[in-house]
Structure 1
Amino acid sequence: MSIQSSTLKINHACESGKKFAELFYEQLDKNRHLIGQLYHDTATLIWNGNHIVGKTNIVQFYMNLPAIDTNLHGIDSQPVSQIISKDHTSILVTCNGRMAINRKQQHFNESFMLIAENNVWKIVTDTFRNY
């Protein structure tokens, strides 16, 4: 792989990851009923150590959370080797910031593994931790 094509992949991953993160937290904060559109059917969410499997269960989990207001401080995205992602186009997106849950401010880190499915990014794994 040439340096130029590698740079293009990194730039595409960064741009895609930033757009995806902004959309995700917009839906989480204001349009939670739409959040299921972002998950693969067999996705996994680990929220502060709690393991939730499947898009339907993940959507139900998010719908049961209290009001959330997110302020992103950082977003980083990297392409994932197709050797690791089983020949899927994939990116790893990591986010951090502050989140008000029931008006209580807390810091958080969240990582998403996304795969391209019919030219749309879908979450296959989502790992969240607040502190």
Structure 2
Amino acid sequence: MDSSSKSKIDQACRTAEEFTKLYYESIDKRRHLMSKLYLDTGLLVWNGNGVAGNERIQKFFMELPPTDHTVITLDAQVIPESAVSGQLTFLIQVSGTVKYQDKLPKNFQQNFMITAQGDKWKIVTDCIRLQEPLGANEKS
């Protein structure tokens, strides 16, 4: 591996740690600022339900009950520049638990694609899924 690739991987890992800390602190404590984390054309897919555009994403987050997230695993990888027209872009994968109001915590899996925009990182796509056992919603 050349030093440029190693440097980008190190940057992806550092960025993932900093970005996810900001993201989960924002959703849990400063939800009114969530739209600032997304591109204007950002896409959120929440348990299979899509919301496009940072204003609509902001409205979606404001309607959720209060949350408390705990990150358990975190991984990041560099998206090859050839796939994103030379734009510095990372894929971040997170798993953890989320507690909604006074309910029991649920496991979640989340994937972000973030891209550099000026000196800020912005979410291009965000896909979160609560981890429910298969058949949990089926009636017996």
**TM-score (normalizing by structure 1):** 0.96
Name the structure where strand makes up a greater proportion of residues.
1
Q: Which residue of 1 aligns with 2:77?
A: 78
C-alpha deviation, 1:103, in angstroms: 2.6
**How many angstroms apart in 1 are the aligned matches of 2:76 and 2:17?**
7
Matched, 1:65 2:68: no
Trace 1:98-113 onto structure 2 (pairs within 5 A): 98-104=97-103, 105-113=105-113
Please report the RMSD computed on the Cα atoms of aligned residues, expressed in angstroms: 0.9
Structure 1 stretches of 5 or more lacking a match? none
**How many angstroms apart in 2 are the aligned matches of 1:16 and 1:108?**
21
Considering only CA atoms, is the larger Rg found in Structure 1 or Structure 2? 2
Give SS of 1:83's match.
Answer: helix
Matched, 1:126 2:109: no
Which amino acid letter does the alignment assign opposite residue 116 of structure 2? A
* Aligned residue pair count: 130
- Provide runs of 4+ in structure 1 moved above 2 Å: none
Q: Which residue of 2 aligns with 1:40?
A: 39
Q: Which residue of 1 aligns with 2:23?
A: 24
**How many angstroms apart in 1 are the aligned matches of 2:80 and 2:45?**
23
Q: Percent identity?
A: 36
**TM-score (normalizing by structure 2):** 0.90
**How many angstroms apart in 2 are the aligned matches of 1:113 and 1:13?**
11
**How many angstroms apart in 2 are the aligned matches of 1:123 and 1:77?**
14
Q: Using the TM superposition, name which of 81-90 and 56-65 deviates more.
A: 81-90
Q: Which residue of 1 aligns with 2:116?
A: 116
Structure 2 stretches of 5 or more lacking a match? 132-140
Which amino acid letter does the alignment assign opposite residue 50 of structure 1? N
Which amino acid letter does the alignment assign opposite residue 30 of structure 1? K
